[in-house]
Amino acid sequence: MAERPGWGFSTRAVHVGSEPDPQTGAVVPPIHLATTYAQAGVGLHRGFEYSRSDNPTRRALETCLASLEGAAHAFAFASGLAASSTVLLSLLRAGDHVVLGDDVYGGTYRLLTRVLAGFGVETTSVDTRSVAAVAAALRDRTRLVWLETPTNPLLRLCDIAAVAATAHRRGVRVLVDNTFATPYLQRPLSLGADLVLHSATKYLGGHSDVVGGAVMTSDPGLAEGLRFHQNAVGAVPSPFDCWLVLRGLKTLSLRMRQQTAGAAQVAAFLTDHPAVRAVHYPGLASHPQHDLARRQMIDFGGMVSFEVGDERTAFAVLAALRVFTLAESLGAVESLAEHPARMTHASVPAELRDVVGVGGGLIRLSVGVEDVEDLIADLDRALDVAAG
Ligand SMILES: *Cc1c(COP(=O)(O)O)cnc(C)c1O
């Protein structure tokens, strides 16, 4: 549906890209499975030729995603890492250098240091809480600063506007992996980032039933490169996957409101619990970057991590949880708990995990949409069981 000026976020999430089907009036867009499209004459088509290049269901999703991030362009991919691979292939050449946050998603670190390194791309990991550390890591061949904020799993923030200003002075592009915040809570392009990336597998899909990714930008040159590489590399999502993400987007606002409110209550409960050594949540006044979070984000998100001292205790807590499911991933309607050092961040070298502070006693929670009383009772009981 053509976007009307002034539409709010939730209205756009429901309607943009989802106009009633012109043939049947169906209010839900059909899933276009066709791989190829009839041409009236050679080269005379209606915008679609072959479904890897473009597909109506994918275009519907991309239109909605662009609108939600306030971007001119969005590109959908088969996974978050397919999006990451394609962005990196589009921006980098042998000899180029990337500055990466030191507690980014483990798969991003692995992609750069174990795959792209083989093609001559160099990476430096820095603590992106410090703009000076980012500035000091920039080299003549630095092409990209890759940020995650809030980070995974320690919920640290980086100042997108300040990093973007510093990087842009040196002609370096800035990408923000906005998976944790979603466009409902944070719009990196409006803060100066050049590119936004998502694992749509998480909050955008929101139901733990589809793997997907996306990249958004308003820069015409970057968009042209991405469009070329989306087709040339071919890591595109299926029409059904696009449809599932589009369906998820319609309730993104509702889910984010509930998950954020639940996470705030869970974080407050954990802060008061004697067995919990530390709680990482940007909404807590005790979070070292709480002021930045208030400035940069609309609310503080559905992810909480906390420390219980050692790995044995963390394993015992995780084993005792009943409402939280022990599983990787995040952002969906069901609450999940996991052990970053042994699960999501196992691909990050132990030395780097130690430097960053991802220890054996750390537990990460993704708060879902269940009744928060049940979530808190579950944590309370599991912490008691673990204490023996
Ligand atoms: C999951 C995740 C990714 C990777 O996405 P996939 O869809 O699993 O490929 C990238 N960044 C963040 C922050 C993630 O949580």
Both tokens of 233, joined, read 């590399």
> pLDDT in tens for each of the 388 residues of the chain?
567 889 999 999 999 999 999 899 999 989 999 999 999 999 899 999 999 999 999 999 999 999 999 999 999 999 999 999 999 999 999 999 999 998 888 899 999 999 999 999 999 999 999 999 999 999 999 999 999 999 989 999 999 999 999 999 999 999 999 999 999 999 999 999 999 999 999 999 999 999 999 999 999 999 999 999 999 999 999 999 999 999 999 999 999 999 999 999 999 999 999 999 999 999 999 999 999 999 999 999 999 999 999 999 999 999 999 999 999 999 999 999 999 999 988 878 888 888 888 899 999 999 999 999 999 999 999 999 998 8
274 φ, ψ to 5°? Answer: -65, -25
Q: What is the DSSP letter of 191?
A: G
CB 148 near ligand 1, within 6 Å: yes
Are 237 and 270 within 8 A, CB to CB?
no
**Buried/exposed 81-116: b ≥16 CB within 10 Å, e otherwise:** bbbbbbbbbbbbeeebbbbbbbbbbbbbbebbbeeb
Which pTM does this prediction carry?
0.96
The CA-based dihedral angle spanning residues 295, 130, 302, 304, taken in that order and rounded to the nearest 10 degrees: -130
Judged by DSSP in three states, 279 sits in strand
CB 347 near ligand 1, within 6 Å: no
Give the pLDDT confidence score for residue 351 in this predicted structure: 85
How far apart are the C-alpha atoms of 358 and 347, rounded to whole Å? Answer: 12
Helix axes 372-387, 252-272, angle to 10 degrees: 40
How far apart are the C-alpha atoms of 188 and 381, rounded to whole Å? Answer: 39
Give the pLDDT confidence score for residue 346 in this predicted structure: 85
Sign of the CA dihedral with 282 first, then 192, 254, and 324 last: negative
Please give the span between the terminal C-alpha atoms of the chain, in angstroms, as a whole number. Answer: 57
Give the pLDDT confidence score for residue 110 in this predicted structure: 93
Give the pLDDT confidence score for residue 333 in this predicted structure: 98
Please name which of 154, 145, 151, 148 lies closest in space to residue 92, comparing C-alpha atoms.
145
The Å distance, Cα 63 to ligand 1 centre, comes to: 21
Give the pLDDT confidence score for residue 2 in this predicted structure: 67
Both tokens of 160, joined, read 């997108």
CB 152 near ligand 1, within 6 Å: yes
The Å distance, Cα 199 to ligand 1 centre, comes to: 4
Atom of ligand 1 nearest to the CA of 108: 10
54 classed as catalytic: no
> Which of 77, 81, 185, 330 gets mutated to test ligand 1 (max ligand atoms within 8 A of its CB)?
81
Give the pLDDT confidence score for residue 349 in this predicted structure: 83
Per the DSSP assignment, residues forming a β-bridge with 100 are 125, 146
How far apart are the C-alpha atoms of 303 and 334, rounded to whole Å? Answer: 13
Give the pLDDT confidence score for residue 239 in this predicted structure: 98
Are 343 and 358 within 8 A, CB to CB?
no
The Å distance, Cα 45 to ligand 1 centre, comes to: 35
